[in-house]
């Protein structure tokens, strides 16, 4: 059954709130879970929250609640229950036993399902399979269930592949083979990245919470034609495009996989080389959905994940997107430092973003005069493609004199041609 199939699985969402004070927060998490379910092709028909300081070791929710859940599944004709909390294999088994015939999954499994549905590239598929093996497969083997998930519909796990798939030793071998293949792809990625770095062109990564509008922004800036959808995790593979800024310089823009709170760490590990694209940038565009009441907390999650990936200190511009949905939004250039308000969909505010990018790059550049001997015109052309040139080149007897703004990378790269420099304030 495919993701676009008309019949949507009727599902009930269940969450624990550690205390009554945390009910509102839990409601928000359930709304996000409901969007995840929708993206995976399911339909939320009911929600259930139990206030409980700690999960029941056997069944997560208490026995009374479990009975209530069984009745609710019957009356709502639900075939799937999704828990917001992470479940152990034995909890899955116990709850399934109590609910007779209803599939039970947790939030991590649901996210893994979405990644499986959305993976298109070879690398994406390998990454998803590895993450699934690391989470779902090992858990289900522990609970003695046979399953097939990569192609299956959400929450179903059978009849599936041959029994061999359930063999722990084979799973281990498969994981090792996937890891080896992924290592090779990661090396290719590193080689490509090194080539981009040698070109001296500034690299900009578009990062942010899932569904914030990263791909739409890349498209609106470069006509990249990247799929943008009102679905979570529409993008799994990084796409890089060139963009010419108004000051005539070129930059490389990369669209990346979105973040979410509690991103399963199996996925972070499996997608490390993809996520790493962000950490090698000269500038981050952190995109958020300004029209979402959860905008601030989504930004905080993004910041935390960037820190975890080692990209916490990179220069950034924060892009408050979807401003067309905010009443009274004016497409002026607000001067709030490092923040731009825009609509990637309508294009309002895009010129401000281009200016902010230029300004951020310029703030880390120094003005320098360089003299290229006539035997080194190749190097001069390379520089002209990657740094802003401040005056027409002067063709002198001893070579071509160029006045340019150099960032640290190009400053080191072209140091042997530099005649004089001036600090840029």
Ligand X SMILES: Nc1nc2c(ncn2[C@@H]2O[C@H](COP(=O)(O)OP(=O)(O)OP(=O)(O)O)[C@@H](O)[C@H]2O)c(=O)[nH]1
Footprint of ligand X (CB under 6 A): 210-216, 228-230, 232-235, 258, 321-322, 324-325, 343-345
* Span 135-174, contacts to Mg ion by CB under 5 A: none
Pairing between strand 283-289 and 203-208? Answer: parallel
At 314 the three-state DSSP class reads coil
What tokens appear for 136 in the block?
């779902």
Of ligand X, Mg ion, none, which one sits near residue 147, judging by CB under 5 to 8 A according to partner kind?
Answer: none
The one-character DSSP state at 350 is H
214/316 with CB nearer Mg ion: 214
Of ligand X, Mg ion, none, which one sits near residue 233, judging by CB under 5 to 8 A according to partner kind?
Answer: ligand X
Smallest distance from ligand X to CB 40, Å = 13
Select the residue interacting with Mg ion from 154, 171, 205, 234 (CB under 5 A): 234
With beta carbons less than 8 A apart as the criterion, state whether 152 and 160 touch.
Answer: yes
133/206 with CB nearer ligand X: 206
What b/e string do you get for 347-357 counting C-beta neighbours within 10 Å, with b at 16 or more? ebbbebbbebb
Q: Is 211 in the site for Mg ion (CB under 5 A)?
A: no
Report the run of H or E that residue 174 belongs to, with start and end: helix 168-198
Of Mg ion, ligand X, none, which one sits near residue 232, judging by CB under 5 to 8 A according to partner kind?
Answer: ligand X
What b/e string do you get for 395-411 counting C-beta neighbours within 10 Å, with b at 16 or more? eeeebbbbbbbbbebbb
29/289 with CB nearer ligand X: 289
Smallest distance from ligand X to CB 144, Å = 35
Q: Smallest Cα–Cα separation from 268: which of 115, 58, 69, 386?
A: 115
Q: Is 285 in the site for Mg ion (CB under 5 A)?
A: no
Stretch that binds Mg ion, among 178-186, 207-215, 344-352, 415-423 (CB under 5 A): 207-215
Smallest distance from ligand X to CB 204, Å = 15
What's the full length of the chain, in residues?
A: 425
Of Mg ion, ligand X, none, which one sits near residue 212, judging by CB under 5 to 8 A according to partner kind?
Answer: ligand X
Smallest distance from Mg ion to CB 207, Å = 11
Smallest distance from ligand X to CB 75, Å = 34
48/331 with CB nearer ligand X: 331
Of Mg ion, ligand X, none, which one sits near residue 213, judging by CB under 5 to 8 A according to partner kind?
Answer: ligand X
91/235 with CB nearer Mg ion: 235
208/349 with CB nearer Mg ion: 208
Pairing between strand 103-106 and 239-244? Answer: unpaired
Report the run of H or E that residue 251 belongs to, with start and end: strand 250-255
58/350 with CB nearer ligand X: 350
202 HSE (CA, 13 A, CB side)? 30
Q: Where are the alpha helices (DSSP H) in 208-349?
A: 214-222, 265-270, 272-275, 295-308
Of Mg ion, ligand X, none, which one sits near residue 343, judging by CB under 5 to 8 A according to partner kind?
Answer: ligand X
344/353 with CB nearer ligand X: 344
Q: CA–CA separation, 215 vs 202, rounded Å?
A: 19
Smallest distance from ligand X to CB 347, Å = 9
Instruction: Scan for tokens 């499996």, then name that residue.
Output: 270
Q: Which single residue brings its beta carbon nearest to Mg ion? A: 235
Q: Is 235 in the site for Mg ion (CB under 5 A)?
A: yes
228/410 with CB nearer ligand X: 228
Report the run of H or E that residue 45 belongs to, with start and end: strand 42-51
Q: Where are the alpha helices (DSSP H) in 12-121?
A: 23-39, 63-76, 89-99, 107-118
CA dihedral sign, ordered 184, 187, 189, 191? negative
Instruction: Tell me which residues touch Mg ion (CB under 5 A).
Output: 214-215, 234-235
């Amino acid at each position: 059954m495919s993701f676009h199939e008309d019949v949507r699985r009727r599902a009930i969402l269940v969450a624990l709130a550690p205390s009554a004070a945390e009910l509102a927060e839990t409601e928000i998490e359930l709304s996000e879970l409901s969007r995840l379910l929708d993206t995976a092709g399911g339909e939320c028909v009911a929600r259930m929250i139990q206030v409980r300081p700690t999960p029941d070791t056997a069944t997560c929710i208490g026995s009374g609640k479990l009975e209530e859940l069984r009745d609710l599944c019957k009356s709502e004709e639900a075939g799937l229950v999704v828990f917001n909390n992470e479940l152990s294999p034995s909890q899955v088994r116990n709850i399934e036993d109590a609910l007779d015939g209803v599939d039970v999954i947790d939030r991590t499994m649901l996210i893994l399902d979405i990644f499986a549905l959305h993976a298109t590239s070879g690398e994406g598929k390998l990454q998803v399979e590895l993450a699934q093996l690391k989470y779902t497969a090992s858990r289900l083997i522990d609970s003695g269930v046979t399953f097939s998930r990569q192609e299956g519909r959400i929450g179903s796990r059978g009849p599936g592949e041959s029994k061999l798939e359930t063999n722990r030793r084979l799973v281990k071998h498969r994981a090792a083979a996937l890891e080896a293949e992924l290592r090779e792809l990661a090396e290719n990625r590193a080689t490509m990245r090194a080539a981009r770095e040698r070109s001296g062109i500034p690299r900009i990564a578009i990062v942010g919470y899932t569904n914030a509008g990263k791909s739409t922004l890349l498209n609106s800036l470069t006509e990249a034609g990247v799929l943008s959808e009102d679905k979570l995790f529409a993008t799994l593979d990084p796409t890089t495009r060139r963009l010419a800024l108004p000051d005539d310089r070129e930059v490389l823009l990369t669209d990346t996989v979105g973040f979410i709170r509690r991103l399963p760490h199996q996925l972070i590990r499996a997608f490390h080389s993809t996520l790493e694209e962000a950490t090698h940038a000269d500038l981050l565009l952190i995109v958020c959905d300004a029209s979402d009441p959860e905008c601030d907390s989504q930004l905080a999650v993004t910041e935390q994940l960037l820190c975890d990936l080692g990209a916490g200190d990179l220069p950034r511009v924060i892009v408050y997107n979807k401003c067309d949905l905010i009443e009274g939004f004016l497409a002026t250039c607000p001067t709030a430092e490092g923040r731009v308000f825009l609509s990637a969909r309508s294009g309002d505010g895009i010129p401000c973003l281009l200016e902010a990018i230029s300004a951020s790059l310029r703030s880390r550049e120094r003005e320098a005069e360089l003299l290229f001997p006539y035997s080194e015109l190749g190097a001069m052309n390379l520089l002209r493609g990657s740094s802003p040139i401040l005056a027409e080149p002067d063709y002198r007897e001893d070579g071509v004199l160029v006045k340019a703004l150099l960032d640290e990378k190009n400053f080191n790269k072209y140091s042997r041609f530099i005649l004089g420099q001036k600090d840029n304030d």
